[in-house]
Chain A
């Protein structure tokens, strides 16, 4: 996401008054409060700008270790042979698909209850990334299923519920962009995200509640992980790396969205000023 890589010096101009982010939650936004300290877009841009380079660096470093470790230096599986390496992408993507959706549900609560304007923006920018992770999870799973199970796809409870999760991600991404009124779109998206959250435990526990072709969980078992440490450790490093990369992507997208809104607000203010000089000056003073 190069779009968000603005130089540190180009920090946002101090025109808080015209930011539409304040207009979105207008009237309901109380002053102060821990949650709302980050609702200020200027503060968010400043803070996230400081975090972002570290986040990207950590993601690149972790993936730079985890992926070669998993894809080249870890042992093959006694049964699956080299095909086991698909897991180093598949499992992190599956976790991100579910964890990301839990995050989407959290933004929905923030949006519906506290009318947190940044939560709406984050949700809007989160869903395409989540959809991509879920698509990768499905694609890699299918590639693994053909040589191992003997089929690309079956309609068992795990695979079907993950496909539903993919459609929920896509539906959210489309719904929040389907309204001329951005606030209305965000409200609808938040409701969809909360309804869809029912699917997350179904995905997770489908392999325990019903018998499926998909195997039960290996890492998060009650006794001990069913993976040998030579396979488990690179998997955990890959999962951490992909998670950091996911967070960096969403953060960069959200920063870009905040800046986009600010630019649009400035352009509109400038246009108003050019049209009606007297009123424009008023808006600037407000």
Chain B
């Protein structure tokens, strides 16, 4: 009995030590573990010019313009916002399917001296909302949610909503 107890205590002590060591390490590397920085982070503490970093936030509603650059490549301009700060972004390349106004994005690139972020990669971020198209349509029709303005309303207000049977399901 005492041997078992001793082994249990040794194990608990080891777990405590390992747990605190991990917690301290993770706290120390906090800044390096973030995948992207928000416009507010950049406004507070701008990274050195020519240093590549990831900028993340929502695509501001009404800010997207798609043009063709002089060399014939598509070029998109939009603004990334986190509510408090906003940074204009240009990107020459193919945007992911989920990209739209109000959507979360993570862009990799460099901040120019003119304050414009030149992205070499744009990834769409998916939020934790999953709903059938009928429900999304119903929410939009009723004026509860404008997807261009950002995330869906609190889930409790729609996650048991009965979708209107008007539209046939497009699943196959």
B155 touches A210 (CB 8 A): no
What is the CA–CA distance of A224 and B131 in the complex, to the nearest angstrom? 13
Chain A residue at minimum C-beta to C-beta distance from B170? A76
A210 touches B34 (CB 8 A): yes
Flag A57-87 by CB within 8 Å of B: 1 or 0 each: 0000000000000001111111110101001
Is A32 at the interface (CB under 8 A from chain B)?
no
Give 17 A-B pairs besides A211-B38, A213-B106, A228-B161 with Cβ atoms closer than 8 angstroms: A73-B171, A74-B171, A78-B137, A79-B126, A82-B171, A148-B124, A149-B123, A150-B97, A150-B123, A157-B35, A198-B19, A213-B123, A225-B159, A226-B130, A226-B152, A228-B131, A231-B131
Query: In the complex, what's the smallest C-beta–C-beta distance from A231 to chain B, in angstroms?
Result: 5
Q: In the complex, what residues of A have CB within 8 A of residue B38's CB?
A: 211
Is B132 at the interface (CB under 8 A from chain A)?
yes
Instruction: Return the 5 tightest CB-CB contacts between A and B, nearest first.
Output: A150-B96, A75-B132, A78-B136, A224-B156, A156-B35
Contact of A78 among B26, B97, B106, B133 (CB under 8 A): B133
Can you list 28 A-B contacts (CB < 8 A)? A75-B133, A76-B133, A77-B133, A79-B126, A80-B130, A113-B11, A147-B97, A148-B124, A149-B124, A149-B125, A150-B95, A150-B97, A157-B34, A202-B22, A209-B26, A209-B33, A210-B33, A211-B36, A212-B35, A215-B126, A218-B130, A224-B155, A226-B127, A226-B128, A227-B130, A228-B132, A228-B135, A230-B132
What is the CA–CA distance of A201 and B17 in the complex, to the nearest angstrom? 16
Is A47 at the interface (CB under 8 A from chain B)?
no
What is the CA–CA distance of A156 and B8 in the complex, to the nearest angstrom? 36
Q: In the complex, what residues of A have CB within 8 A of residue B133's CB?
A: 75-78
Q: In the complex, what residues of A have CB within 8 A of residue B122's CB?
A: 150
Contact of A194 among B15, B126, B156, B158 (CB under 8 A): B15
Is B141 at the interface (CB under 8 A from chain A)?
no
What is the CA–CA distance of A77 and B136 in the complex, to the nearest angstrom? 9
Q: How many residues of A contact B (CB 8 A)?
A: 50
Contact of B128 among A73, A80, A216 (CB under 8 A): A216
Residues of A within 8 A of B (CB): 28, 72-80, 82, 84, 87, 109, 112-114, 147-151, 154-157, 194-195, 198, 202, 209-213, 215-218, 221, 223-232
Residues of B within 8 A of A (CB): 3-4, 7-8, 11, 14-15, 18-19, 22, 26, 30, 33-36, 38, 56, 95-98, 106, 121-137, 152, 154-156, 158-161, 163, 169-171
B134 touches A75 (CB 8 A): yes
B35 touches A80 (CB 8 A): no
Chain B residue at minimum C-beta to C-beta distance from A227? B130
Q: In the complex, what residues of A have CB within 8 A of residue B3's CB?
A: 28
Q: In the complex, what residues of A have CB within 8 A of residue B154's CB?
A: 223-224
Q: In the complex, what residues of B have CB within 8 A of residue A225's CB?
A: 155, 159
Query: In the complex, what's the smallest C-beta–C-beta distance from B138 to chain A, in angstroms?
Result: 10
What is the CA–CA distance of A285 and B53 in the complex, to the nearest angstrom? 74
- Contact flag A221-B123 (CB < 8 Å), given A211-B35, A213-B35: no
